[in-house]
């Protein structure tokens, strides 16, 4: 059983809180401390973004974070080194790498999978590996006991949902809206309406992200989802707080979201 699967099993009826930050933002030396701050604030699973020069699924907030990291020439191997350092103190919290195919293809699928396993990565989500073209990726991940995680969206067909159900493990990431990260027009009713269709074809936990910015929106999504994914709001907080205050502010923000999710479970 993977760390991700174990985490969901241990949560029981509680909802998983999955924060995202970009590796190397605002500086490579800050990332590990920020990850630990997220865990102290109540994170159950961590998503760590791999900086890329053309992040097609991301809005301006995460684009700027990737640009700040790339100024310091943060590479995929650097990100794996950050995970390895994080594992020196935390051997329990699952870490999912989220990014794009180009850096992985350059390293080679098999080499990447082995390096990710050795660093302590638990799952990998590649935005531009559609499930119809991801058999090699999935095989490489499973060979190293890593969870391949896939995106679904409001536009996903029944055929794509079924394909994701066959390939994915760990959890499935449902994009709540048509657009990029950081959008503010979250429609919880629309998310709720699609979940019965998802549940009939997916046996994995379903996390919802894109457009979740605060405790109220997180709690609303938690009424239907198994996990809440928050990214742009955290990256924006890091951007505004600066390196001296980011850890403290991330921890406090996460604690507020964690409390809201637990209140929803109790209700």
Active site residues: 47, 58
Q: Which two tokens stand for residue 226?
A: 């198994």
CB 239 within 8 A of CB 64: yes
Alpha-carbon distances, residue 242 vs 83, 150, 213, 266 (angstroms): 22, 32, 19, 35
Q: How far apart are CA 239 and CA 45, in angstroms?
A: 22
Alpha-carbon distances, residue 202 vs 148, 177, 189 (angstroms): 14, 19, 20
Apex 267 CA angle, 42 and 6, nearest 5: 40
């Amino acid at each position: 059983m993977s760390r991700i699967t174990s985490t969901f099993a241990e949560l029981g009826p509680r909802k998983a809180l999955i924060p995202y930050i970009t590796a190397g933002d605002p500086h490579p030396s800050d990332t590990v401390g920020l990850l630990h701050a997220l865990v102290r604030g109540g994170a159950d699973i961590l998503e760590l973004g791999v900086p890329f020069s053309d992040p097609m699924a991301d809005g301006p907030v995460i684009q700027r974070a990737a640009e700040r990291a790339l100024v310091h020439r943060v590479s995929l191997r650097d990100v794996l080194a950050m995970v390895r350092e994080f594992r020196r103190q935390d051997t329990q919290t699952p870490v999912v790498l989220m990014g794009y195919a180009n850096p992985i293809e350059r390293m080679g699928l098999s080499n990447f999978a082995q390096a990710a396993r050795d660093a302590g990565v638990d799952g990998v989500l590649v935005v531009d590996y559609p499930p119809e073209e991801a058999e090699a990726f999935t095989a490489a991940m499973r060979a190293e006991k890593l969870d391949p995680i896939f995106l679904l969206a409001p536009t996903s067909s029944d055929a794509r949902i079924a394909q994701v159900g066959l390939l994915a493990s760990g959890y499935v990431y449902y994009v709540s809206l048509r657009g990029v990260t950081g959008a503010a027009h979250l429609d919880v009713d629309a998310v709720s309406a699609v979940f019965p269709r998802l549940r009939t074809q997916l046996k994995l936990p379903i996390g919802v992200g894109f457009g979740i910015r605060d405790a109220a929106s997180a709690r609303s999504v938690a009424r239907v989802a198994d996990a809440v994914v928050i990214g742009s709001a955290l990256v924006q907080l890091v951007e505004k707080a600066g390196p001296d205050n980011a850890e403290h502010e991330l921890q406090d923000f996460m604690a507020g979201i964690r409390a809201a999710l637990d209140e929803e479970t109790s209700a």
